[in-house]
A and B are shown apart, each in its own frame.
Chain A
Amino acid sequence: MARLEVTIGSMLLRNPVMTASGTFGYGTEYTDFMDLGRLGGIFVKGTTLEPRQGNDYPRMAETPSGMLNAVGLHNKGVDYFVEQIYPVIKDYDTRMIVNVSGSTVEDYVACTEKLVGLEKIPAIELNISCPNVKEGGMAFGTTCASAAQVTRAVRRVYPGTLIVKLSPNVTDIAEIARSVEAEGADSVSLVNTFLGMAIDAESRRPKLSTVTGGLSGPCIKPIALRMVWQVFHAVNIPVIGMGGICNWEDAIEFILAGATAIQVGTCNFIDPSVSVKIVEGIEAYLQRHNIASVTDLVGAMETA
């Protein structure tokens, strides 16, 4: 029996397949379709200090092999999460990780402080890469100095596993990864969405209320894969890969490129049980190739 367990920071996962923030709600939305206990973990939707109504409609445009979104961190705030959501999800038989967003460093710190001590939240993911809010978000993830600043500030108050979600909308993602590693991040997750846009040719108007939005889905996979590979060779902390993963072959590609674990995102919308199928596919692959542990595959792409 092949071993599927992987470790991110101090967090042991039963398998490397997790679901990406913003695509899986709080997990409750998917319980009709799958057994959440089959997953390595769930990254819950982006959580901010104050409630946010998000952006105006329309927030979505379909693209070839992908979609643009401009949700804009629509959520009910961290207090609502702690009081109303946590009591429901704390008993899920999987790792629950909160994605934290903010407009200022102080926001990130204050939001994180409210999550410290929640026994069933072993990790947080700092979202310094959301392209859909006017302030903060991606702005923190586009320079080494600001990425380091917010990581350092949160690291001071958060003792659990700290994952930093990186933006692909930069010149050199590896240097951003190194900057957050230097400030104590336990892991980096990448990539968030690519900044894109779509126009209705008939009306000559943008398809999104915000004009630009975040591109995700299989169309971004080759670029995301390349970035995971670059970052894997730039840091010594585990990399969590994501970007258009829709089946077990995609997941194996990311692991071979250097991802210790992966997140399934947009494809959850098309097949709500796809992440469980990916777990099964990885397990079958390991057995078929006589590989003892999935960790043996991490970064094992052969180029010679």
Chain B
Amino acid sequence: MKQLDFTVRSNDKLNDQNHLLKVVPSDNEQLPEMLPGQFVQILVENAQHTFLRRPISINNIVPERNEIWLLVQSVGEGTQKLCEMAVGGRLNMLVPLGNSFTIPSNPGSYLLVGGGVGTAPLLFLGKKLHERGIACDFLLGGASEKNILQRSDFTAYGTLYCTTEDGSLGEKGYVTHHPVLQHKKYDFIFTCGPKPMMVAVARYAHERGIVCEASLENLMACGFGACLCCVEKTTRGNLCACTEGPVFDINELTWLD
């Protein structure tokens, strides 16, 4: 873990709520190794009611540009300030935090299921799988077409399937209704998004004996295991989502009890 200042290299508005920030270390320091599933904690300055850092998933790492991509959804004052960051602006971040998705060494078929801003870490995961020569399918869900973000980035690393609640893109409905889940057989499923979606995905995987990991977005203060606020109830007791997660094997969670 490191505490570093970053400079915003670009800030692209993807839709009404979401911005993609690309940041680089301000002092040209080499980025520490970061893994898919890990996150950063960003200090939000000049926000009257925002006190704590904001945990944001690592959306992508571009080593040749020493660049971190952060997909930020404006849901409150803190994230709104982040979405308003000007190019050249400074961000203090703790990097990287948390565990990561497990990339198995054995071959198999992979499905990455995301919803809303929870699609963010799946791009980085898909890229890592792609680098290992592993083709994967992405299944992304959102309220409508404008909520399915970074589609061209995803298709660079695998096959993209989409569902929207209004039917404006892909299949109408939720991700678990997509026909690909009936037609194809997967060995590994990785998921991130709203909890009801992840529970449905976990249930699907559990019933079929598919290895499944879910990335949680529990409320946290510190992000590095000191405050003990972000606990998740597991078969091993209450564990911190920030240090023992955010990625958990679904069989460790108590969601399906």
Contacts and interface: CB of A to CB of B under 8 A. Distances in A.
B253 interface: no
Contact of A29 (B43, B221, B224): B224
The B contact surface, by secondary structure, is loop
B125 to A, nearest CB: 24
Contact of A59 (B48, B50, B228): B228
Given A57-B218, A268-B222, A71 B53 contact: no
A69 B229 contact: yes
Nearest to B53: A270
A272 interface: yes
B226 A67 contact: no
A269 B227 contact: yes
A66 B48 CA distance: 11
Interface string B14-25: 000000000000
A264 B221 CA distance: 15
Interface stretch (B105-113, B200-208, B230-238): B230-238
Contacts of B51: 62-67, 217-218, 270
Contacts of A155: none
Interface residues of A, number: 35
B222 A269 contact: yes
B86 interface: no
A218 to B, nearest CB: 8
Nearest to A76: B237
B3 A33 contact: yes
A67 B220 CA distance: 11
A118 to B, nearest CB: 22
A269 B221 contact: yes
Given A32-B2, A59-B230, A66-B51, 13 more contacts: A29-B224, A33-B2, A53-B238, A58-B229, A60-B219, A62-B51, A64-B49, A64-B51, A71-B229, A74-B228, A74-B238, A269-B221, A271-B43
Interface of B: 1-3, 43, 48-53, 94, 218-233, 237-238
11 contacts: A24-B226, A25-B226, A54-B228, A54-B231, A57-B218, A60-B230, A61-B219, A69-B227, A268-B226, A270-B52, A272-B3
Leading 10 A-B pairs by shortest Cβ distance: A60-B229, A269-B222, A32-B1, A25-B226, A269-B221, A29-B226, A59-B229, A64-B49, A71-B228, A29-B225
